[in-house]
Chains A and B, each alone.
Chain A
Amino acid sequence: MRRKRRSVTVPSKYLLLGLTVFCIVLMGVTFFTDFLATPLSNLAGGVIIPFQTGVSRIGESLSRRKEEVVNIRDVMAENDRLREQLDRLEIENNSLQQDKYELSHLRELYQLDEQYENYEKIGAHVISKDPGNWFSTFVIDKGQKDGLEVDMNVMAGSGLVGRIIEVGDDWAKVLSIINDSSSVSAMVLSTEDNCIVEGNLETMKSGMITFSKLVAEEGTVKEGDKLVTSYISTKYLPGILIGYVTEINPDANHLTNSGYMTPAVDFSHLQQVLVVTTRKNGAEMQGEDQ
């Protein structure tokens, strides 16, 4: 066998050298430009995505089955509790409904119609995630054919998940806000102070990400305050809930504050997401990732 190999293959040293150079060139090309990335990903996507879709469907149903078995007792107890809650909420709902009419009337007056209930949305399944443990990007099962484009915002439930960074025919890659290299221009809802929310692998272990550059007077922003996407963001539509302030500390320069926030979305159990097909077409702004 050894005899055969020696006669057939290139010595591995040269192969290694050649491919190393190739990789470095490729890295250089994709780092400084991005003309290679999309066609290559599309090629690979066409082959792998169908498999991933299938397997993740199976996995999803299996894990749901598992949860069903485990949770059935909890669910029964919860059911009773929820029934009570339902009654209470129905009463509450009625009064809120009245408030809502009033609110929509007032909103019309103020022409504040860019609330995100009005954005067009498409539902999608998460079919695969980044294979490593360092970054949080994932792939969903809708793409160009469904009208998705790069930079569209992705939500789950009522909170912001991230935005689309790459689109194939029937898949799209989403960069989540908890990704260590992601940053979002945000605003404290109560005081309208701007800040930057950045993903952080380190603090995500305790369910939080960081925010910084918050210019606010001491004591005005409190724990539990809502953080939403800001009006000056270039990629994100305004007014989408990102999460809640959990800890706030003044910076050493006494001008800005930074701290931790808890995202509104449960990122460890992300299965369905909503893609907002309305896109923000604002001017270039500083502070966000490219």
Chain B
Amino acid sequence: MKRTVFIVLIMIVAFVLQTTVGKWIAFGSVSPNLLIIFVAAFGFMCGSSTGLLTGFFAGLLWDLFYGDIIGFHALVFMYIGYMNGAFKQIFYKEDIKLPLILIMVSDFLYGIVCYVLQFLLRGRFDFAHYMMYVILPEMVYTVLLTMLVYPPIRTVTLKLDSQQSALSL
């Protein structure tokens, strides 16, 4: 219960920050994808169900505000959360490499899906350009930001988790 409230709060804060502060910290007009970080992180920390629900609601929020087609980001984020959930088995607290790689791959996949469905289908064929100027910079920036925001989130989530499991025993 506490964890759910925490996740909801974090996602709302992340969304607000990304839409407002995002443009202030943009580097070469590319800003990091804070939402992906949290969707992926809650995925591999809390499992597939939590991951996919977090992704779904985060994506829905995005779509309601800025999406042309409601449901697109919800769908993509949901699958990202779900797939990250599969790595719960090999996730352990002290390891930072796995989270970084997972978030990097998640953001990369998100970039590819966005390009294919929203740009390639409209006849924008210069994949290399979008790769160089949007997908990769966003990925690098997101990974850098992950190092900053991931540790505190992990600490709090795992603490709430252990409280919960203590209660249920």
Q: Which residues of A contact B (CB under 8 A)?
A: 1, 3-5, 9-10, 12, 15-16, 19-20, 22-27, 29-31, 36-37, 40-41, 43-45, 48, 51-52, 55-56, 59, 62-63, 127-135, 137, 139, 173, 180-181, 201-202, 204-205, 268
Contacts and interface: CB of A to CB of B under 8 A. Distances in A.
B99 interface: no
A128 B20 contact: yes
Interface string B16-36: 111111111010111101110
Contacts of A135: 66, 118
Given A44-B61, A139-B65, A55 B114 contact: no
B69 A27 contact: yes
B42 interface: no
A254 B22 CA distance: 44
A131 B52 contact: no
Given A20-B78, A31-B69, A131 B62 contact: yes
A27 B70 contact: yes
The 4 A-B pairs with the shortest beta carbon distances in the complex, nearest first, are A26-B71, A128-B19, A1-B165, A27-B71
Interface residues of chain B: helix, strand, loop or mixed (majority): helix
A129 B16 CA distance: 10
A133 B30 contact: yes
A76 B68 CA distance: 46
Contacts, number: 150
Contact of A44 (B65, B68, B74): B65
Given A5-B47, A52-B20, A180-B119, A40 B75 contact: no
B78 A19 contact: yes
Contact of B69 (A30, A41, A134): A30
B70 A30 contact: yes
Given A27-B71, A41-B64, 18 more contacts: A1-B164, A12-B48, A12-B85, A15-B53, A19-B56, A19-B78, A23-B74, A31-B69, A41-B65, A43-B64, A44-B61, A52-B20, A62-B24, A131-B35, A132-B66, A133-B138, A180-B122, A202-B124
Given A12-B47, A16-B78, A23-B74, A137 B66 contact: yes
A16 B75 contact: no
Given A24-B75, A129-B22, A44 B119 contact: no
| Interface bin, chain B | 35 or more
B153 interface: no
B130 interface: yes
A55 B75 contact: no
Interface in B46-94: 47-49, 52-53, 56, 61-62, 64-66, 68-72, 74-75, 78-79, 82, 85
Contact of A133 (B19, B20, B29, B72): B29
B158 to A, nearest CB: 12
Contacts of A51: 12, 16
A150 to B, nearest CB: 15
B6 interface: no
Given A48-B15, A131-B18, A133-B138, A181 B68 contact: yes
A131 B82 contact: no
Interface string B106-133: 0000000011001100101010011001
Contacts of A59: 20-21, 24
A245 to B, nearest CB: 22
Contact of B31 (A23, A133, A139): A133
A12 B49 contact: yes
Most buried by A among B20, B69, B71: B20
Contacts of A1: 161, 164-165, 168
A131 B29 contact: no
B134 interface: yes
Contacts of A31: 69
